[in-house]
Chain A
Amino acid sequence: MNRAKLRQNIAFTVLGLITLLVVVPILLVLYYVIRHGWNAITWEFLTAAPRNGMKEGGIYPAIVGTVLLITGTMAFSLPLGILSAIYLVEYARDTLFTRLIKLSVVNLSGIPSIVYGLFGFTLFVVFMRMGASILAGSLTLAIMSLPVIITATKEALEAVPMVYREISLSLGATRWQTVRSCVLPYAIPGILTGTVLSLSRAAGETAPILFTVAAFYLPRLPRSMFDQVMALPYHLYVISTQVPNVPEKFSFGTGLVLIALVCLMNLVSIILRAHFRKKKQW
C-alpha cells in the first residue's frame, strides 16, 4: 500500500473515532436519564401535585404549565414569524429596510436566553404590568423562538419554484392571492417542521421563564393567563439545586418527562416532513 493511501486510512479512522466520541456521550446521557427516570414514572407522578416540600407526589402542575406555555408561545410566534417571512420572501425588495430585518433575525437568534428573560421581565412584567404570568412568559418565549420560525419559513417559501408565482400572476391574480393559493400550500411542511422544532426548544428553556412566569412551588392549576405556573425545566432546576433531600429519582423522572416531551415534538416534526415530502409535486 502506498503512503498516501495509508495516510488516508489513518485519517479516516481518526475521524471515525472522534465521531464516536461525540455519539457515545449522547447515547449515555439518554440511557442514564431513561434508566434512572423510568422508576419514578408512575400514574401518581404524572397526575398529582407535589406534596411535602416537593419530596412526594408528582409533577402534574409543571406538565400543565409547560404545555400552556408552549401553546401561548405558538399563538404569538407562529403568525408573526410566518407573516414576516412572507414579507421577506414575497414582498420585500433588496432595500436597506429588508437588510435591517435580515440582520435583526440573525441578531435575535444569537441573543442569550437569559437576556430574553431580562427583557421580558422589564417590558412585559414591569413596564406593561402583566406581572409574572403565563402571558408574560409566553410573549418572552415567543420572541425568542421567532428567528427559527422565520428562517424555516423563509427556506420553505424560497424552495417553491418561481414558475408557480409567475403563472399565477400572469393569470391576473394579485400578489396576496398568489401567495395564499400558489405558494403557501407547498411551503407548509417546511413551516410546520421549523415551528415544531422551535417550540420544542422553547419547551426546554429555563432562563427566559425564571423571572417572567415560573413558580417555585404552586400545587394548583392556573385560573387565567395572568397566573404564574410551574414549568418542567424550572421544576427540575428547583428540585435538583434549591430544595434539599428531594429523592434523586424525582429529578430523573422530571428530566425524562421533559426529554420525552421534547423528543415527541421533534418526532412529530419528522413525521410531518416525511408525510408531506411524499406528496410534493415538483
Chain B
Amino acid sequence: MRNKFGERVIETAIRFSGFAIIAFVILIFLFLLKDSLSLFRVYSFKRFILEQKWLPISEPPTFGIVPLITGSLLVTVGAIVICVPVGVATALYIAEIAPGYLKTILKSLIEVLASIPSVVLGFIGIIWLGPFVKNTFHLSTGMCGLTSVFLLAFMALPTIISISEDALVGVPRMYKEAAYGLGATHWQTLWRIVLPAASSGIMAAVMLGIGRVIGETMVVMMVTGNAPIMPKSILQPLRTLTATIAGEMGETVSGSDHYYALFAVGLILFIITFVLNFTAEVFLRKGRR
C-alpha cells in the first residue's frame, strides 16, 4: 500500500513537471507583457515601434525602438553572411571528408568553442580584435558593429555546424549510393544530392544561428560602442536590443516608464526568437520526413 502511495506521488510529480515547462513559457510571456503594457498605457505602441530615437532619460523621454532594431539587424545580417557559408562548409568537411580521427578532434574543438563564455570573447574583442579592426579599416574607434559581427559569427558557428552536420549525416545512404552508381564523383554527389537533401535541416541551422546571434548580449554590449543612434553603417558604434536592456536596467528606477520600456524591448526579443525557433522546428520536422 505504501509502495502504491509513493508511486502515485512520483507520477504526479512527473506529470506536474511536464506542465511546469509550459507554465514557464507562459509565465515569461505574461510577465514581460504585464510590464510592457504599463509602458503602452502612457506611451503609445505606435510611437514605440516607429519613433526613430531612443532617448530614455531626456525630458520628455522618447522610446523609439527603430535604432535598436536596426542595430540588431545590422550585426545579425553581417554575422549570418559570414557564418552560414563557413559553418556549412565546415559541416560538410566534418561529415563527409575528414577521416575518423580528424572528425573526433574537429568535433571536440567545436564543442570547446561552444563552451567558451561569451564574456571571454567580449574581452578578447576589447583587447585584441577591436584595435585590429580599428587599424585595418582606419576608424576612429574599433568598438563598432564590425568587431561584434566577427565575434558573433564566430560564436554562432557551433550551432550552425552541429545542426547542419546532423542534417548531412541524416541523408539516407541510398541517395548517395544511387549517385555513385551512376558514376558521379564524391564531390558531385555532395553538391548535387546530399546538400539539397539536407537543405531543410540546414535552413533550421540558419534560423537557430540567427536566434543565437540576435539574443547574444555580453559580446555586443562590450564591443559595439553602445551608441543608441540610428546606425548608418556597420563601421560605426551602434546599440542592439539586448545590450540596451543589459546596459540600462541597472540605472532605471523600478516602476518608471524607462523601466517598463526595457521590458517592452524584452518582449520584442521574446517574440522574434519565438518565431525563429518555431520556424526552425518546422524545417527540422520537414527534414525528418
Contacts and interface: CB of A to CB of B under 8 A. Distances in A.
Interface of A: 4-5, 7-8, 11-12, 14-16, 18-19, 21-23, 25-27, 29-30, 32-33, 79-81, 83-84, 86-88, 91-92, 97-98, 100-101, 103-119, 121-123, 126-127, 143, 146, 150, 174-177, 197, 200-201, 203-207, 210-211, 233-234, 236-237, 240-241, 248, 251, 255, 258-259, 262-263, 266, 270
A262 B161 CA distance: 21
Most buried by A among B24, B86, B242: B24
Interface of B: 7, 10-11, 13-18, 20-22, 24-25, 27-28, 31-32, 34-35, 85-87, 89-90, 92-94, 97-98, 106, 108-113, 115-124, 126-128, 154, 157, 161, 185-188, 191, 208, 211, 214-218, 222, 242, 245-246, 249-250, 254, 262-263, 266, 269-270, 273-274, 276-278, 280-281
B7 A210 contact: no
A137 B118 CA distance: 18
Contacts of B187: 4, 7-8, 11-12
B250 to A, nearest CB: 7
Contact of A119 (B31, B86, B281): B31
A104 B28 CA distance: 11
Interface SS of chain B: helix, strand, loop or mixed? helix
A263 B112 contact: yes
Nearest to B85: A18
6 contacts: A26-B109, A86-B14, A104-B21, A107-B273, A112-B215, A207-B246
B89 A18 contact: yes
B25 A115 contact: no
B149 to A, nearest CB: 14
Dominant secondary structure of chain A at its interface with chain B: helix
Of A7, A11, A21, A123, the most chain B CB neighbours within 10 A belong to: A11
Contact of A103 (B16, B188, B281): B281
Given A15-B92, A101-B18, A210-B250, A110 B120 contact: no
B117 A106 contact: no
A11 B281 CA distance: 31
A18 B128 contact: no
A204 B18 contact: no
Contact of B217 (A12, A103, A206): A206
A98 to B, nearest CB: 8
**Closest 9 A/B residue pairs (Cβ):** A112-B215, A204-B117, A8-B187, A110-B277, A83-B17, A84-B17, A87-B18, A207-B217, A18-B89
Contacts of A103: 278, 281
Nearest to B96: A15
A101 B16 CA distance: 12
Nearest to A14: B89
Given A101-B22, A104-B21, A115-B215, 14 more contacts: A26-B112, A87-B18, A111-B28, A112-B214, A121-B249, A123-B31, A175-B11, A203-B117, A205-B117, A207-B246, A237-B119, A237-B218, A237-B222, A255-B120
